[in-house]
Amino acid sequence: MAPEDELNPAFRPHWYGVLALYLAALTVGAGSAWLAVRSQLDSGGVMAGVWRTSTLAGSSDADIYTRAVIAVGALLALNRDETMYYVATTDSKGRALRSRCRYRISGPAPDARWWSVTAYAEDRFLFPNAERRYSLNGGTAPLDARGHFAFESGPTPPAGNPPAAPWLPTPGDRGLSFTLRLYNPAAGLAAAPASLAAPVIERLGGCE
């Protein structure tokens, strides 16, 4: 038989209140932890131009907090000798990136066996597009005579037929970030991530 106080209707609201407070505390705690992890995606680490990288990503020294940041950021963090990740959330003048704007991303080819640049929306997912084109790399963004690459991003392709530059589609009006992945980076770059010859992100036009 249940204890007498559990049968007393006047007692039940007390337990409901305790349960509600407990659930509220869990929600607030989980929410604050989530916000803290999200905030670390855009802070900390080492800067190369407007590109940010974590010196702990892919390192055996990474703590549980860093691993959570990497997981939320959708980065598959291999050992840093194998892969490095740089993220840009602003253009080279410090303006927040938006998918409705057109950008030109250019610079010398990174000192790595292979590299790619991927566009992500503010939720860290890929932009859906009919072309299914989500990233560009050393093969799809060819180098000029100086060993530099250049491509554009935006909701519509660059002018010209064929387009004047390789293109990453970023439809809609959403937050935007670029992730630069370097596979098998040079030893000097892996040891000094800030030494990256950082690609320039130039906003084209008035971004109407």
Q: What is the pLDDT of residues 154-174, one digit of tens each?
A: 999 888 777 778 999 999 999
pLDDT at 162: 73
Identify the CA nearest to 49 among candidates 101, 103, 91, 108: 91
pLDDT at 175: 96
Per-residue pLDDT, averaged over 52-57, amounts to 73
102 φ, ψ to 5°? Answer: -105, 135
Tokens standing for 122?
């503010």
What's the rounded Cα separation, in Å, for the pair 121 and 109?
24
Tens of pLDDT, residue by residue over 31-42, are: 343 333 344 445
pLDDT at 25: 42
Per-residue pLDDT, averaged over 55-60, amounts to 53
CATH-assigned architecture of domain 41-204: Sandwich (2.60)
Tens of pLDDT, residue by residue over 176-197, are: 999 999 999 999 999 999 999 9
pLDDT at 36: 39
Q: When comparing pLDDT for 107 and 18, which is higher? A: 107
Q: Are 136 and 127 in contact (CB under 8 A)?
A: no
pLDDT at 139: 84
- Give SS3 for 103: strand
- Indicate the domain borders of the chain: 11-38, 41-204
Residue 121 carries which DSSP code?
E
> pTM score, two decimals?
0.71
pLDDT at 80: 54
Per-residue pLDDT, averaged over 69-73, amounts to 48
Identify the CA nearest to 200 among candidates 136, 104, 118, 128: 104
Percent of the chain with pLDDT over 90: 51
Tens of pLDDT, residue by residue over 127-138, are: 999 989 999 998
pLDDT at 16: 52
